Chains A and B, each alone.
Chain A
Amino acid sequence: MTTAAADATADATTAEVDANTDANATTDAAAIEHARALLGVSRLTNAALTRWLHGLPGVDQVGCEARAGALGTRSIKSASKAWAIDLAISMIDLTTLEGNDTPGKVRGLAAKALTPDPSDPTTPRPAAVCVYGDMVAIARNTLGDSGVRVAAVATAFPSGRASLAVKLADVADAVNAGADEIDMVIDRGAFLAGDYRTVFDQVVAVKRACGTARLKVIMETGELVTYDNVRRASWLCMLAGADFIKTSTGKISPAATLPVTLVMLEAVRDWRETTGTQIGVKPAGGIRTSKDAVKFLVAVNEVAGPDWLEPHWFRFGASSLLNDLLLQRQRLRIGAYSGADYIADDSPSTAY
């Protein structure tokens, strides 16, 4: 698609969406105005977005992976390890996103979030339970006002291949059912075709549909492939109003790698420096061990900075990670590995 054609399509989509209500149009116009001011352009065309995104400094793959590797060699021991494990637990979005999810499964997961380790009531709770939109009410019912949030994936997760109207209805359903947070996916097809305006407009529209719910935007970095793309997608999503940028759906491999997360941490750091607004980061998928989680926390600490070291600004999208963290936590407490039989769970892990 040519840039002009992409602009035309984007404008048409925007027009269609904006036709809904005047209020919506005002909200979107404000988002566009904000973006125009930041880019310093009179019209937020696809060409303007392209110039801006392609003007960001490149990422050298070898150097980026070397830096991630170096951060991974930090040796976190004793008291700092205990602190990091508790922090990691409190940052988990405990997730189940399967076709065979049932109310029972979701209730079990929510109960696990409320009492991660029945043998030790001092264990912190995960930040949220993350489910499909139709399971939000069930999770909400169990979690109540415990403080553990309900996050819902929406916008035709995981592929995102549906009309914007369907995506917005998906979001509205989840929000109405009581979701505190929405995890949307970007249109990777549009992004890879260079149609940045469409990606921008969809994030703006979904953000509006979220109301007070926080919006996490999944870029599916495994499909964007290059670190340059990850950096551009991160800035594009932040420009469009994402509260969080998130790596992956967990359905595509590779998912959350440390170098990809490093590029995103650089993006939120530089974004705050540019605009004064702090944005969260959520690596999701493929982080299974405490050792890995600690490496990510080291990267957060040394790249974005200590301001991001709290659940409001950094999350892990994970399912089995929690049990490994609990196992390590028990080991620090009793001085020996207990084993899977001592980690209570509805879907017990057999890994250890």
Chain B
Amino acid sequence: MPTFEYAPASESRAVVDIRSTYGLFIGGTFVAGTGGIFTTVNPATEEPLAEIAEASAADVDAAVKAARTAYTRVWSRMSGSDRGKYLFRIARLLQERAREFAVLETLDNGKPIKETRDVDVPLAAAHFFYHAGWADKLEYAALGPDPRPHGVVGQVIPWNFPLLMLAWKIAPALATGNTVVLKPAETTPLTALLFADLCRQADLPPGVVNIVTGAGPTGQAIVDHPGIDKIAFTGSTAVGKMIARSIAGTRRRATLELGGKAANIVFDDAPIDQAIEGIVNGIFFNQGQVCCAGSRLLVQESIADTVIKRLQRRLATLRVGDPLDKNTDVGAINSRRQLDRITELSAAGEAEGALRWDSGCPLPDKGFWFRPTVFTGVAQTHRIAQEEIFGPVLSVLTFRTPGEAVAKANNTAYGLSAGVWTEKGSRILWMADQLRAGVVWANTFNRFDPASPFGGYKESGYGREGGRHGLAAYVVTGEGA
């Protein structure tokens, strides 16, 4: 009997036009940087995509000055409804150029086109639409009396959702009247630079959005710059702690959205087929490179065997490979460095005695790849249950009672998200109350909406993004400041 082979269904690259070199976007124009250059590669093929300017401290200074000028002369004087018009325009342009952004994001990040097309880009546009609506209603958002912008905001974003994290940062900042200096991650700068082009297309006043590319030192220059009024950072907990130390004792404020080690908790009365989908979506969405990924599966011991069997059967149908193929479910790991970290932690899992399983699916010869992997027999004391792997690796633990599930779920330095799977409504509410996590999903996982605040407890950071809570982080109220 012949099997149903899906022929390659590759999305066309022709829609994107990648330049060989990119400068920095400062004051509404692309300028050459005074630092070095670095290369961004396609992680699925290791093919170099473009050479990117690395912003020096002097370049960052120029960007902050441009942002300050735009703030004092234009953006802070503009009415909320006029700011809203620009944000609506940006949102519509993102939708019009959705395919271009999706293909470019897939090339630069390695994530499947299915995800950039159906998740990253539509959600990025949704964030601009949502915040555009708030721009002229801030006084009615219950943020406190007389909400006013901070001024110039420095924003540093990660490589896992390059465009979406840019939208989470820039949309609320602009809606509340701030101007921004944003640094995309060094492995994924291209969609931010395409967004710079879109800002020009939208006639956004020069200097309102400035994009400086670079690695750690560029980010440090933003954090240390005295002209920055507020820092917004999404990334690793280690870097988040450095930022918190840098700004301690200064008037600069920060919101930090850091790592996670979320528990996805499956009770014996869960809708089992949907729970399996939720587990897959929780840890293999975006190759597990998600801060809120459900990387610890806590399954009630009485159904552990059947859940693991069903999960393995489902994983055998995941299609791993060319991210531009519309049928690909799992794409490439973003960088060699990240692949090395995932490999190292998985080896540690084996060494500590957990049982490793993967589907054994073929992987491409070139590029950075890691098979969706499940560890069973994991204990809380194992590194793979404690440390954020940030890759397609699931650690399975069991529990006996709801109380034990909560205790194990909370027994981590992190507290970003959690999932609960049960058909019992009262248990969902009780669990949500007990779990120390910023987001608790019930009978679903990894769902995002601009109206819903997102952020963490404990070492997962502080401050919220999205919803009214997210707006609050970008304004001062009353007599303050």
Interface on A for B, CB 8 Å cutoff? 57-60, 62-64, 66-67, 73-81, 83-84, 266, 297-298, 301-302, 306-307, 309-310
Given contacts A60-B443, A81-B7, A84-B4, 7 further A-B contacts (CB under 8 A): A60-B274, A64-B274, A73-B114, A74-B326, A80-B6, A80-B7, A266-B273
* CB-contacts of B399-455 with A (<8 A): 423, 443-444
Question: How far apart are A328's CB and chain B's nearest CB, in angstroms?
Answer: 15
**A298–B9 CA distance with the chains assembled, in angstroms:** 15
Interface 1/0 per residue, B255-276 and A, CB below 8 Å: 0000000000000011111100
- Across the interface, name the chain A residue whose C-beta is closest to B443: A60
Q: Is there a chain A Cβ closer than 8 Å to B327's Cβ? A: yes
Q: Is there a chain A Cβ closer than 8 Å to B277's Cβ? A: yes
**A83–B2 CA distance with the chains assembled, in angstroms:** 9
Given contacts A63-B277, A67-B277, A77-B9, contact A58 B4 (CB under 8 A): no
Are the CB atoms of A59 and B274 closer together than 8 Å? Answer: yes
Given contacts A66-B277, A67-B277, A309-B1, contact A78 B271 (CB under 8 A): no
Are the CB atoms of B274 and A83 closer together than 8 Å? Answer: no
Q: Is there a chain A Cβ closer than 8 Å to B352's Cβ? A: no
Q: Is there a chain A Cβ closer than 8 Å to B391's Cβ? A: no
Please, which residues of chain B bring their CB within 8 A of the CB of A306? 1, 3-4
Please, which residues of chain B bring their CB within 8 A of the CB of A77? 6-9
Q: Is there a chain A Cβ closer than 8 Å to B118's Cβ? A: yes
Are the CB atoms of A75 and B270 closer together than 8 Å? Answer: no
Q: Is there a chain A Cβ closer than 8 Å to B278's Cβ? A: yes
**A309–B277 CA distance with the chains assembled, in angstroms:** 23
Are the CB atoms of B7 and A78 closer together than 8 Å? Answer: yes
Are the CB atoms of A79 and B274 closer together than 8 Å? Answer: no
Interface size bracket, B side: 20 to 34
**A309–B3 CA distance with the chains assembled, in angstroms:** 8
Are the CB atoms of A74 and B273 closer together than 8 Å? Answer: no
Are the CB atoms of A297 and B4 closer together than 8 Å? Answer: yes
Q: Is there a chain A Cβ closer than 8 Å to B5's Cβ? A: yes
Please, which residues of chain A bring their CB within 8 A of the CB of B443? 60, 62-63
Please, which residues of chain B bring their CB within 8 A of the CB of A59? 271, 273-274
Interface of B is mostly: loop
**A84–B274 CA distance with the chains assembled, in angstroms:** 27
Considering the complex of A and B, which 8 residue pairs feature the smallest CB-CB distances, nearest first? A63-B274, A75-B9, A60-B271, A75-B326, A60-B274, A57-B272, A301-B4, A80-B7
Given contacts A73-B326, A266-B273, A309-B4, contact A302 B118 (CB under 8 A): no
Please, which residues of chain A bring their CB within 8 A of the CB of B3? 301, 306, 309
Q: Quick one: which of B3, B7, B273, B278 has the most chain A CB within 10 A?
A: B273
Question: How far apart are B360's CB and chain A's nearest CB, in angstroms?
Answer: 18
Question: How far apart are A70's CB and chain B's nearest CB, in angstroms?
Answer: 8
Are the CB atoms of A57 and B277 closer together than 8 Å? Answer: no
Question: How far apart are B300's CB and chain A's nearest CB, in angstroms?
Answer: 13
Q: Is there a chain A Cβ closer than 8 Å to B20's Cβ? A: no
Interface on B for A, CB 8 Å cutoff? 1-9, 114, 118, 269-274, 277-278, 317, 326-327, 423, 443-444
Are the CB atoms of B7 and A79 closer together than 8 Å? Answer: yes
Are the CB atoms of B6 and A74 closer together than 8 Å? Answer: yes
Are the CB atoms of B269 and A58 closer together than 8 Å? Answer: yes
Question: How far apart are B424's CB and chain A's nearest CB, in angstroms?
Answer: 10
Q: Quick one: which of A75, A78, A298, A307 has the most chain B CB within 10 A?
A: A75
**A57–B272 CA distance with the chains assembled, in angstroms:** 6
Given contacts A306-B1, A309-B1, contact A67 B7 (CB under 8 A): no
- Which of B4, B270, B272 contacts A298, CB < 8 Å? B4
- Which of A58, A83, A301 contacts B271, CB < 8 Å? A58
**A307–B4 CA distance with the chains assembled, in angstroms:** 11
Please, which residues of chain B bring their CB within 8 A of the CB of A297? 4
**A58–B266 CA distance with the chains assembled, in angstroms:** 13
Q: What are 19 pairs between A and B in contact, CB < 8 Å?
A: A57-B272, A58-B423, A59-B273, A59-B274, A62-B274, A63-B271, A63-B277, A67-B273, A74-B326, A74-B327, A75-B9, A77-B6, A77-B9, A80-B7, A298-B4, A301-B4, A306-B3, A309-B1, A310-B1
Are the CB atoms of A67 and B4 closer together than 8 Å? Answer: no
**A81–B6 CA distance with the chains assembled, in angstroms:** 8
Please, which residues of chain A bring their CB within 8 A of the CB of B278? 63
**A343–B1 CA distance with the chains assembled, in angstroms:** 30
**A75–B8 CA distance with the chains assembled, in angstroms:** 9
Please, which residues of chain A bring their CB within 8 A of the CB of B6? 74-77, 80
Are the CB atoms of A62 and B4 closer together than 8 Å? Answer: no
- Which of B4, B8, B277 contacts A83, CB < 8 Å? B4
Are the CB atoms of A62 and B444 closer together than 8 Å? Answer: yes
Are the CB atoms of A63 and B444 closer together than 8 Å? Answer: yes
- Which of B5, B118, B274, B423 contacts A67, CB < 8 Å? B274
Question: How far apart are B370's CB and chain A's nearest CB, in angstroms?
Answer: 22
**A301–B114 CA distance with the chains assembled, in angstroms:** 19
Question: How far apart are A54's CB and chain B's nearest CB, in angstroms?
Answer: 11
**A143–B384 CA distance with the chains assembled, in angstroms:** 64
Given contacts A58-B423, A62-B443, A302-B317, contact A76 B9 (CB under 8 A): yes
Please, which residues of chain A bring their CB within 8 A of the CB of B9? 75-77
Question: How far apart are B440's CB and chain A's nearest CB, in angstroms?
Answer: 16
Please, which residues of chain B bring their CB within 8 A of the CB of A67? 273-274, 277
Please, which residues of chain B bring their CB within 8 A of the CB of A83? 2, 4-5
Please, which residues of chain B bring their CB within 8 A of the CB of A63? 271, 273-274, 277-278, 443-444
Question: How far apart are A307's CB and chain B's nearest CB, in angstroms?
Answer: 8
**A280–B64 CA distance with the chains assembled, in angstroms:** 67
**A78–B3 CA distance with the chains assembled, in angstroms:** 15
Are the CB atoms of A73 and B4 closer together than 8 Å? Answer: no
Question: How far apart are B444's CB and chain A's nearest CB, in angstroms?
Answer: 6
**A59–B274 CA distance with the chains assembled, in angstroms:** 7
- Across the interface, name the chain B residue whose C-beta is closest to A57: B272
**A299–B355 CA distance with the chains assembled, in angstroms:** 31
**A62–B421 CA distance with the chains assembled, in angstroms:** 13
Are the CB atoms of B271 and A75 closer together than 8 Å? Answer: no
Please, which residues of chain B bring their CB within 8 A of the CB of A75? 6, 9, 326-327
**A310–B423 CA distance with the chains assembled, in angstroms:** 35
